[in-house]
Structure 1
Amino acid sequence: MRLQTLISAALLTIAMAGCASAGTPWVELAGTRYTVEVAADDAARAQGLMFRDSMPDDAGMLFIHDREAPLAYWMKNTRIALDILYFDAQRRLVSQQRDVPPCSAGNACPSYPSRAPALYVLELNAGQAAKLGLEEGEELVLSPGLPHGR
């Protein structure tokens, strides 16, 4: 049992070192780079950007889903206006919801659906999509270490 514990600890240390060397995750969109927090499991996707009072202009949150499907996001307990950008498995912009207002109405908050199946969702501060002049088909570039399609 002790050997198994040591092996587990060693593997965890190696994995953590690999993550540290990968650096802070980022995405690039229309030639602009954003550092991102990654939400790749149900709990992180459910929490999203709830209860945040601000986010730097060069930052965002990247949601990675388990499979490509029609998606809908809402702004429950979100305090900042956002652009919600939906990307397919090839990382092409398939839908965008711009300038989505904050919502404090709990479960009564409206949802903002994608117009096509998506695998990735990028949330940026409201106004970023207009500033970049985003159009459907724009490619999302992911930093090394992030899943590049499933």
Structure 2
Amino acid sequence: MSTGNGPTLIPDGRGLHIVVVAAQWHTDIMDALIAGAVRTLDSSGATYSLVRVPGTFELPVAAQRIATNGAHVDGIVTLGTVIRGGTPHFEYVCQAAALGLTNVSTSTGVPVGFGVLTCDDVEQAAARASTDPHGDNKGVEAAHAVLETIVALRAFTS
């Protein structure tokens, strides 16, 4: 888990179904983020499904469909990696993903964990997708955030 100041206990996820939606670009980094998210969900006792989409830009439409398709889903973990380049592409993709995923969570009420890396280079992304169980892995953090949000909102669910 991250060396930040966030919670470290994994919430009880028994009885929850989480969908992990992950981009395909930057395979090694994405595989590490997915492994971190899956490790966290396994530790919580939640069940999960994995859906792969081409890139980070496609995460919001996939999350929207999953959240509204009528199948039972308690939360969605979204994972992607965008590396800054020499064009404005980085800003457009990052903004579209952030706003799109925020809209999915607020319009559907389904918690969405934001595990999208927005980095200047591949080295920064790799550092945020550590395969060390005690290292910094944003897949772990996104899965943890979804579980925590579900637990926090239970008191307000009828």
The answer, yes or no, to whether TM exceeds 0.5 is no
State TM-score, norm by structure 1: 0.27
Task: Specify which structure has the bigger relative contact order, considering alpha-carbon pairs within 8 angstroms and separated by 6 or more residues.
Answer: 2
State TM-score, norm by structure 2: 0.26
Larger radius of gyration: 1
Considering fraction of residues, name the structure with more strand: 1
Considering fraction of residues, name the structure with more helix: 2
